[in-house]
Amino acid sequence: MGYGLGIDLGTTFTAAAVAGESGTRMVPLGQDVVVPSVVYSTVEGALLTGVAAEVVGAKDPVRLSRGHKRRLGDPTPLVIGGVAYSPAALLAAQLREVVTYVTAQEGAPPEQVVLTCPAVWGPYRREHFDEVPRLAGLPGARIVTEPEAAATHYSMERRLGEGELVAVYDLGGGTFDTTILRARAGGMEILGTPEGVERLGGMDFDEALVAHVDRSLDGAISALDPGDPDSARALAAIRALCVRAKEELSTEPDVTLRVPLPAGERELLVTRLEFNEMIKPSVELTTEALHRTIASAGLRPDDLAAVLLAGGSSRIPLVPQMVSEAFGRPVRVGLHPKYTVALGAAAVSRTPAAAPPAPPGTPPSGEPLPQLPPAAPEPVAARTPARRPKWLVPAAAAAVVVLVVALATAFLTTGDEDAPAARGGDAAPAAPLGDGSDGKEFTVFDKADVGPFKSIIGSADNWAGTFLGDGETAKHTAIGVTPGKVGDENGLHAVWSGKGAGQLYFQDTRGGRDMTRYTTNDTALVFDAVVTKAPAVRTTIAVHCEYPCAAQVEAKSLFSKLPVGKKSTVRIPLSCFTDAGLDPKKVNTFFLVYTEGAFDVSLANVRWVPGAAKEAGASRCGDLT
Ligand SMILES: Nc1ncnc2c1ncn2[C@@H]1O[C@H](COP(=O)(O)OP(=O)(O)OP(=O)(O)O)[C@@H](O)[C@H]1O
Ligand SMILES: [Mg+2]
């Protein structure tokens, strides 16, 4: 069956997603889902891209190009290793590599390729970007703007009401883009003039941090001579260290950097508050740009239903905080803000191209976006655990360390390493439980985590997910959870505050498993619940088959009907989820509760039980819509 391919050639990272009969999904571009947007020119003149380029480039930084998307349209060619390249040629090398890789993975070339570019680019840059697919041998590729793609993805995740107005705020690695969209029958409409700041993104925050470290170390970094190979390697390592530190500060209040200067290592503590001060003026520029976009559409902030955040830099906590303060509107961050653009581009690839195409740079105001299929999943999770050590490593070793950490985190639990052995551990769930693929009963949570499943909460504070440690409380603005303790009959206690959307879920972070055998033996999701306060607004229970594959049922009335303060056992047939679109072949999130209102419940003994769909008291799927 044919498929369409969406590619987000970002300034710092490249991502790809495919859309076909079975839906839209990310395609990992190797070990990782996204690859760095870097190109390495070998002595023979060949161009390496992505991880391969980064690994060799760490030893030989003068032959490595990064951030060249920002240079598109610049008449001065980039000279790498003595050879001149246009930025378009380097982007074309990246594009070609991604298409070749995905073609090999999918077993056939894509029927349609959709690329994305910043909305703020004018005709000149758009013309240069049009060269990229041509140079890559893909003359039929379509191009949509990044916020259009992001909005397309969001509108698939959540059905937007007719006439609903949303702003897309995309803060990536190199550019900031913002656009206002109105949902209407048959598609979405861009209102006003998309705005942005061409050279504003995570790379600038990296530079701000490098400059701060330099000042703190009395100019030891600026004293390095980039022409000297040893100094060049040290500079590349320090830069990578600062990128990691910056990302670390999104979850940690402070980080200790070990700065690898040629004269020896220097240690420095950087706090999130210090970092916030460094980037605040830049974030203010973004909110000013969004104010202008709103005004250009003849609107006021109050007219917006929400501001949708995209781009990796929107994971910096200061960003949603300042956007929320500046506009007073609900701010939504997808779980993987980096994936949003690629997933949206893939969705666009399944729609007919608008004909004739607008000339490059035509203001897209009033242009309808493609009609979209009905909304499906809430923002959700498929990630490796976010263990955040208080140390950082020199970047020369970063590639190796990233791999080691990836492997290690695949086998480690998150703060409950001691506990799972008694309950099965990561390696082997205890007999006689099944493993979730053999058709036998299995438990994903009893009164605490049951390895390898993890309990996680997500909300706008951190859609990427906060893991519940062993016996620890996890708290966001919208949801707080206290895990059950030994002897605590009611299990985990979850309280949604009503201050925004929040979700609690149990996931095998190592990936999906095939539950096909459970589709033929009347299996049901079974759990014990003690409701203290029933939800008053839409509440869903979902099962996920690797984001964005998911299925959900409506559970407000289910929870509302349970007696308050008394334990009840709930049984929801697996068929309710498969009917709602669950692909049973790759289930990784076995139970997820989501609501935007206040809700107070204790949950225990979450399990999948063959035969339970036929037991008295099992829910009927028709009651869960
Ligand atoms: N947890 C995090 N905290 C802070 N910054 C982050 C985090 N995760 C990713 N980033 C930053 O996000 C940026 C990458 O975002 P993204 O991949 O959306 O940008 P891009 O598509 O490459 O760039 P652009 O859209 O500007 O062309 C990088 O600067 C990266 O360091
Ligand atoms: Mg981007």
> What pLDDT, in 10s, does the model give residues 130-166?
999 999 999 999 999 898 888 888 877 665 677 889 9
Ligand 1: centre distance to CA 392 (Å): 19
Mapping DSSP onto H, E and C, the string for 542-577 reads EEECCCCCEEEEECHHHHHHCCECCEEEEEEEHHHH
| Ligand 1 in reach of 147 Cβ (< 6 A) | no
Q: What is the mean pLDDT of residues 471-496?
A: 80
CA 84 / ligand 1 centre spacing (Å) = 27
Residues 92-101 pLDDT 10s: 999 999 999 9
Instruction: Report pLDDT for 472.
Output: 66
What whole-number distance in Å separates Cα of residue 305 and Cα of residue 319? 18
Considering the domain boundaries, does residue 147 fall inside one? no
Residues surrounding ion ligand 2 at CB below 5 Å = 10, 172
Nearest Cα residue to atom 15 of ligand 1? 312
- Tokens of residue 437, six digits: 């693929």
Q: Longest C-alpha distance within the chain, in Å?
A: 76
Q: Quick one: tokens of 193?
A: 């003039």
Q: Decide if 610 contacts 522 (C-beta within 8 A).
A: yes
Contact between 620 and 534 (Cβ < 8 Å):
no
**CATH number, domain containing residue 518:** 2.60.120.430
Cβ of 175 less than 6 Å from ligand 1? yes
What is the crossing angle of helices 272-296 and 318-327, to 10°?
A: 40
Domain of residue 537, residue span: 413-624
> In which band, very low, low, confident or very high, does the pLDDT at 421 lie, cut at 50, 70 and 90?
very low
Q: Given this model, what pLDDT does residue 470 score?
A: 55
| pLDDT-based confidence at residue 389 (cuts at 50, 70, 90) | very low
Ligand sitting nearest the alpha carbon of 335: 1
- Per the CB < 8 A criterion, the answer to whether 171 and 313 are in contact is yes
Ligand showing the shortest atom-to-Cα distance for residue 11: 1
Q: Counting ligands in written order, which one lies closest to the CA of residue 91? A: 1
On whether residue 33 sits in a domain, the answer given is no
Burial per residue of 302-335, b for 16 or more beta-carbon CB atoms within 10 angstroms, e otherwise: ebbbbbbbbbbbbbbbbbbebbeebbebbbbbbb
pLDDT of amino acid 82: 83
In a domain, 476, yes or no: yes
Atom number in ligand 1 closest to CA 310? 18
Q: Which atom of ligand 1 is nearest the CA belonging to 338?
A: 18
Mean pLDDT computed over 352-378: 37
Give the count of domains, the chain.
1
Per-chain mean pLDDT for the chain: 82
Phi, psi of 316 (to 5 degrees): -70, 120
**Closest ligand relative to 310 C-alpha:** 1
> Residue 223 contacts by C-beta under 8 Å, 6 or more apart in sequence?
none
Q: Which long-range contacts (CB under 8 A, 24 or more apart) does 469-478 make?
A: 469/414, 469/415, 469/416, 470/415, 470/416, 470/418, 470/419, 472/415, 476/502, 478/502, 478/596
Q: Is the residue at 492 inside a domain?
A: yes
Structural domain contains residue 457: yes
| Strand order, beta sheet including 165-171 | 187-197, 176-184, 165-171, 306-310, 331-333
Residues 462 and 477 sit within 8 Å (Cβ to Cβ): no
Please tell me the residue having the least CA distance from ligand 1 atom 18: 311
Confidence check: pLDDT of 407 > 50: no
What is the per-residue pLDDT for 289?
93
CA nearest 587: which of 448, 449, 382? Answer: 382
Cis peptide bond upstream of 452, omega within 30 = yes
Phi, psi of 272 (to 5 degrees): -65, -35
- Asked whether residue 417 is assigned to any structural domain, the reply reads yes
Q: Residue 516 falls within a domain, yes or no?
A: yes
Residue 578 domain-assigned? yes
Residue 465 beta carbon below 6 angstroms from any ligand 1 atom: no
- Are 91 and 53 a contacting pair, CB within 8 Å? no
Cα gap 312→291, rounded to integer Å = 21
Residue with CA closest to ligand 1 atom 20? 10
The answer, yes or no, to whether residue 322 has pLDDT greater than 50, is: yes
